A and B are shown apart, each in its own frame.
Chain A
Amino acid sequence: MNDYPQVLFKNRLPGETVTLRSYEKTGGYQGLRKALKMSPNEICELVKDSGLRGRGGAGFPTGIKWSFFPSKAPGEKYLVCNGDEMEPGTYKDRQLLRADPHQLIEGMVIASYALQATAGYIFLRYAYEECAQNVERAIAEAKAAGYLGENILGSGFALSLHVHRSAGRYILGEETALLNGLEGKRPNPRAKPPFPAQRGLFGKPTNVNNVETLANVSHIINHGPVWFQELALTIEGSGTKLFGLSGHLNRTTCFELPLGIPLREVVETYGGGIRQGRAFKACLPGGASTPYLTAEHLDLPMDFNPLEEVGSRIGTAGVTVFDETTCMVAVTRNLVQFFARESCGFCTPCRDGLPMVSWLLDKIEHGLGNHDDLCLLAKQVQNITGRSFCALAEGAMGPVESLLRLFEQELKDHIQKGQCPFL
């Protein structure tokens, strides 16, 4: 049912987890063998050429990030895999680790070699116990087969991997909060600079990447950057992307699709269209922090740049679709409530600003708002965006900003009618 080339999901079978043996059968750990014959620098260059961009939400080019890493610095250096995945609408890393965890292990060994990291941590959210067990099993298998541990495949390179199970809270997905979490400290974000690459885990140089980002690495080594670029449908894009579909669609599962695929195709072909034959109203294209897209955006290619051009982001590509009967004020209120509740409490715009926004939206949704409240709301967005200590509060403003921009009439209707027009 998916006509596009499958890379990350090529081994995926419903309800099963790929073992080392079957992973190896489809070319598993060939990338690692190849990589260990290259120099660390060559790998970084290759990843840079591939155009791989971070899959954790911010989309920073992975090769460039790696090239900033002080791989030659003496002493411990760490690679951390970010598997917190707590942004509403996002469940792709879970699918990946459910289906084929060795990709992550292989990617991490290659990345560690490229960065000359001495140890790796895999940070997993509380709810992903099954994934944690899968990863632990995969680590044990890889170790036994010589892909991990001392002197990997006779190269002299050594690496140990550790799984860390978290205990809740979205903020741990923010990479510096995650590092504090790993250290057993209060997981507030840290100030940047210094960046993790300079002073990260336990004060040592650390590189943080998303699960999906790292899983792509072995394939890039195996098939080359050009192949990777050509996987995408847009000229400037590269690679496939795991799209986790949710909301009012007929089919809400996770698909591997090329970057650049039109939103319409995602919604209609893969999502099977809107439930109960209703019309598409809007969607969050990449998780709870990404500004809405509406029906006018259905033909947009789902890739980093095109979405940025219309004021949104591809984020994690967790597409949450809302049908025509949905009140977008209520959706936004729900989203802001999430962010307010998940704030770490460190900085004021987030800790106290988000509850204020949440209160405003609640008031408007209940028909108690007035026109001043709309101005107030707009001012809140302006003064929270880019002003908080980390990107959580800024992310929270994504949907609110687009609510004001795209659904102004709906907001006004609430005020005029003195109640939610969708009741």
Chain B
Amino acid sequence: MPTLVIDNREVTVPEGMNVLDAAKAIDIVVPHFCYHEALGAIGSCRLCAMQFLEGPVQGVKMACMVPAQDGMVVSTSAAEAVELREHVIEWLMTNHPHDCPVCDEGGECLLQDMTIAGGHYLRRYRGKKATYTNQYLGPFIEQEMNRCITCYRCSRTYRDYCGGRDFGVFGSRNRVFFGRYKDGQLESPFSGNLVDICPTGVFTDKPFRFKSRIWDLQEAPSICPQCSLGCSTIPGGRFRELQRIRSGINQTTNGFFICDRGRFGYGHVNHPERPRDPRVDGLPVTMEEAITAARNRVDALAAKYGGASIAFLGSPRASLEGNLLLQAWAGRVGSSQSVFDAHQGRDHAARSLAANLASLARSLSDVRQSDLIILIGADPLAEGPSLALAIRQAVRQGSEVIVIDPRPVALPCAHQHIPLPPQLLHMVLKALESGQYDELNDAQTQPAVKTLRSKIAQAKLPVLIGGADMLGGLGVKLLCDAAKRFISAECNIGVMVMLSGPNSFGGAFLNIGGPDFDALIDAFQEGRVRGLVCLESDPFREAQFPAKAQAALGHLELLISIDCTPTLAAKRADIFMPSRATAEMAGSFINNEGRLQAFHQAIEPGMPLSALGPGKHPPRLFQSTTPGATPQPAWQILGQLLDRPADLNQLRRTLAAENPKLKALTHVDTTAARICAEPNGIAAALTHEMFSADSSAGNVPLLITSAFVGSHWLSHLSSPLKALREEPTVWLHPSLAATLGLKHGERAILSTTLGRCHVRVQTSNDMAQELALTYQLLDSALEGMSPGTIINCRLTGEEGQ
């Protein structure tokens, strides 16, 4: 821990920290561009000059390139250093266009800040400027190369940090070009980070272009609702429209970056079909009327058939507060029928995780530091994209990555893939735990698992990673059990499991030993349950076996929906109450590592001005209310219904008082502590129904899984992401394709009991041999296929028809 003096102030910093960061640690910020905490120092911009007065290094030096050492005496305000910084800024500005008035970066331009901070105010250079031709980079990123100051941040982010393979640095001298080899859509699922990382307006958010001035945006720290990792985000909106999302900074979770699903997946908030008005029996009412009707009808049903005749379905995307109040409502009518994920397998996985994780929990930051990462039944890009980024950082530091999965799992880094059929995953986990390999009679799997065991035992910070879809409740328990086996003084092993939504863990936490949705389905059918309240959930689509669920749901006498998206439940509900999206409210989620994180309200809801169409602004029809502004946070709707405090903090305090395990709710923030449930009886109830296909008579088992884009409800509603959506595809191992007489790239017909559809055939050597694989794609013929299941299918070439 070296101690040095900067501007007459003593500071002690960790070994290896550079002097620029050491100064930052005592709030002395010296202008800089190329240095970035996540990207490291390269010393190219020459802006962070400081004068080293005493100690092992002397003279004017670039502070980012000098590790802090004992005895250093440094001045940031010495004339020579200040003068150099002035010059560097002046040079950087020589080629920069004077297009600030029309530049999309205006207002959050680091170059502008540094120009002022560096003391450059008068243009002296009157020579020619370099100009460039811009490239088309796809629907997310706009390029304006003339604004480039050549800090190399973009290529270091895109290529080095995110592992993108289609972006580079071309040319030389004062004509360096950053972009793709040829025009075309950026391929990395993390391309949007270019927007945040570029200090000027070269790479800007294309869907956001010309929508707002930055200073007119309403922003607040929030949590991404697109997966269970809980990345920090900063949504920004204006004119009642959520216009963009940028990455928040949280060293424990996402660090500085987010994925493109998180960044561009906000379209559900502005969706034209978003239901914004309360309804009772198809007629518009006020929120108060809807709330009263909901309370009365539920009470009436309870009076008639008993409290148990009403079920309550929360969701992984509803806030913890909302889910808690839903459970409280159930309690008030005397129903114990509350469930928090309509998808059986995912629900079990989450509960199993909440029950077993305890001190095995690992954060993304832990993953970044891990020296051995084993993924079993996990596909990060689909199930938790930022995890893929964290894994890449570990690999860059020398970590090894082994993937055991039937799917052709893609990662932005080197890894070893063992493509086992899904049935074997549990056996592998058992063998990992027990050291008994008998069940693994496969000649290749046995030695592979043996090696795995010895690798784990030798690693210092290994992490076992799983996914809810492939492992289910039982698998998650096996994963935790296996990990526990290796805990030792040397081996600090941990677990991370990707769940289905931002608050899956929270729901599981509330319902650790309660009923599950399959039990409810039976109850619907048998008439034991006659009413269902859906909180931001859509059992018609989300159930693991949607066809079965839809039939059962038809028996209901009362369907109530609270939601902010156009779900089937919302459309069919007898009573509908519009709720707010994450960006429009405050609340909290518990992410997949059990971390309770709060999010704040960025914008007010309302029909976006842009959606009112041309000529309608200013509105011709004068009215005192804002169109579409009725939605309220779900917790507020439920709070009114249950006569709870309207103030969030007060509500949190009462909730915490009722449930001592939720004490953390009283001081929740965007970077809060972890919450863990106590294991209780759940393990016994775990079933695993995913693998029930019979492979007789020409049937092929079809494994259904999810894609980066298209399988997830919220992002599915986002128009910019449509460009990334795959066409319906079936993946086959070449050997199976040959048996079926199908070729890579051909079109085929996929028939299942859920129907027939046309798909493109893709082959991969990197997957299990005896099965076909497809992604659930919402609003396509594959919509009814729910991830985490295997069904029978038949595949025939289109020509054969």
Contacts and interface: CB of A to CB of B under 8 A. Distances in A.
Interface string B116-145: 000000001111000000000000000000
B150 interface: yes
A353 to B, nearest CB: 5
B88 interface: yes
A344 B174 CA distance: 8
Interface stretch (B165-173, B231-239, B281-289): B165-173
B170 to A, nearest CB: 9
Contact of B87 (A171, A347, A351, A380): A380
Given A348-B150, A359-B127, 19 more contacts: A171-B172, A343-B174, A345-B173, A346-B152, A347-B43, A347-B44, A348-B44, A348-B47, A349-B46, A351-B91, A351-B174, A351-B176, A352-B174, A353-B87, A356-B127, A362-B127, A382-B83, A388-B46, A389-B44
Interface string B45-70: 11101000000000110000100000
Nearest to B175: A345
Interface string A164-207: 00000101000000000000001000010000000000000000
Contacts, number: 85
Interface in B18-56: 42-47, 49
B46 A355 contact: no
Contacts of A353: 87, 91
B176 A345 contact: yes
B44 A346 contact: yes
A359 B126 contact: yes
A379 B171 CA distance: 29
6 contacts: A171-B172, A345-B150, A345-B176, A346-B152, A349-B91, A389-B43
B94 interface: yes
Contacts of A359: 125-127
A351 B150 contact: yes
Contact of A347 (B45, B90, B169, B172): B45
Contact of B88 (A191, A340, A346, A349): A349
B94 A356 contact: yes
B611 to A, nearest CB: 45
A383 interface: yes
Given A345-B172, A359-B126, A387-B84, A352 B94 contact: yes
B95 interface: yes
Contacts of A362: 127
Interface in A329-349: 340-349
B660 to A, nearest CB: 55
Nearest to A344: B172
Contact of A340 (B49, B59, B174): B174
A355 B127 contact: yes
Contacts of A356: 90-91, 94, 125, 127
A376 interface: yes
Contacts of A342: 173
Most chain B beta carbons < 10 A, residue from A342, A358, A389: A389
Contact of B172 (A343, A348, A380, A387): A343
Contacts of B173: 340-345, 351
A57 B601 CA distance: 63
Most chain B beta carbons < 10 A, residue from A171, A351, A376, A382: A351
Nearest to B87: A383
Nearest to B127: A359
A392 to B, nearest CB: 11
Contacts of B92: 348, 352
A58 to B, nearest CB: 19
B171 to A, nearest CB: 7
Interface residues of B, number: 32
A351 B47 CA distance: 14
A328 B124 CA distance: 24
Most chain A beta carbons < 10 A, residue from B47, B125, B173: B173
B150 A387 contact: no
Contacts of B84: 383, 387
Interface of B: 42-47, 49, 59-60, 65, 83-84, 87-88, 90-92, 94-95, 124-127, 150, 152, 169, 171-176
Interface residues of chain A: helix, strand, loop or mixed (majority):
helix
Nearest to B95: A352
Contacts of B65: 191
A382 B46 CA distance: 14
A347 B174 contact: no
Most chain B beta carbons < 10 A, residue from A343, A348, A358: A348
B46 A376 contact: no
Most chain A beta carbons < 10 A, residue from B60, B65, B94: B94
Contacts of A380: 87
Given A344-B172, A345-B173, A348-B88, A387 B125 contact: no
A329 B44 CA distance: 30
Contacts of A376: 124
Contacts of A388: 46
Nearest to B124: A376
Given A186-B169, A345-B171, A376-B124, A389 B94 contact: no
Contacts of A347: 43-46
Given A186-B169, A345-B174, A345-B175, A352 B43 contact: no
A409 to B, nearest CB: 24
A68 B298 CA distance: 85
A348 B84 CA distance: 11
Interface in A148-174: 169, 171
Interface string A211-236: 00000000000000000000000000
Given A352-B95, A380-B87, A191 B172 contact: no
A340 B175 CA distance: 11
A344 B83 CA distance: 24
List the 8 closest A-B pairs by CB distance, nearest first. Answer: A359-B127, A352-B91, A383-B87, A345-B176, A343-B173, A345-B172, A345-B173, A353-B91
A345 B174 CA distance: 6
Given A349-B91, A352-B174, A383 B83 contact: yes
Contacts of A387: 46, 49, 60, 84
Nearest to A339: B173
Nearest to B126: A359
Nearest to B65: A191
B45 A348 contact: yes
Contacts of B45: 347-348
Interface string A400-411: 000000000000
Nearest to A393: B46
A362 B125 CA distance: 12
A347 B88 CA distance: 10
Interface in A118-162: none
Nearest to A358: B127
A352 B93 CA distance: 9
B381 to A, nearest CB: 28
A31 to B, nearest CB: 40
A386 B80 CA distance: 12
A7 to B, nearest CB: 38
Contacts of B60: 386-387
Contacts of A352: 91-92, 94-95, 150, 174
A348 B176 CA distance: 12
Contacts of B171: 345
B404 to A, nearest CB: 32
B785 to A, nearest CB: 46
A186 B178 CA distance: 13
Nearest to A193: B65
A341 B46 CA distance: 20
